[in-house]
Amino acid sequence: MTDLANRRCGPCNAETAPIEGKELQTYREHLHSRWRVIEDHHLAARYDFKDFAQALEFTNRVGSLAEAEGHHPEICLSWGWVKVRIWTHAIDGLSENDFILAAKMDQLDAATAEGAGT
C-alpha cells in the first residue's frame, strides 16, 4: 500500500467485502489530508483552484482518469473548487479502488497546479 497512485483499479463485484475498521483507517492514512471518510461509506474531498478554468481543467483530467481506471467518482464543479465523492457502488461501500483513485486524483491536482504556475 506504500504507493496507491501506482496501482490500477481492479474488478469488484457484490461479493467483494467493503474495507472497514482499522484497515479503513490504514488506507486513509495513505491519502492527502483533504480526504475524509464519511460514515465508513465513501471518501470526500475538496480541491481549491485560483479560478473556474483551472477547476474545470482538473475536472476534465479526473474524467479521463476515471474512464481509464473504469471507476467513476461523483464530481461537483464550481468557481475555484471541485468537490469529489468516491465509493464502490457494487458493494455500497469502500474498496481499495476508491483509495487508488483518490491517490491518483491528488497526483492530478499537483500536475494541474504546476501547469498553471501556482
Residue-wise pLDDT for 40-62, tens only, equals 999 999 999 999 999 999 999 99
* Selection from 17, 105, 8 nearest residue 64 by Cα: 105
* Helices 52-69/96-116 angle, 10° precision: 140
What are the residue ranges spanned by the domains of the chain? 18-113
Q: What are phi and psi of 26, to 5 degrees?
A: -65, -45
Confidence of residue 103 (pLDDT cuts 50, 70, 90): very high
For residue 34, count CB atoms less than 10 angstroms from its CB and return exposed for 0-12, middle for 13-18, buried for 19 or more. Answer: middle
Residue 69 banded pLDDT, cuts 50, 70, 90: very high
Residues in a beta bridge with 75: 84
- Topology of domain 18-113, per CATH? Gyrase A; domain 2 (3.30.1360)
User: Distance of alpha carbon 33 from its chain centroid, rounded?
Assistant: 12
- Average of per-residue pLDDT across 6-11: 83
Give the pLDDT of residue 33: 94
Question: Rounded to two decimals, what is the model's pTM?
Answer: 0.89
Cell of residue 81, nine digits: 473548487
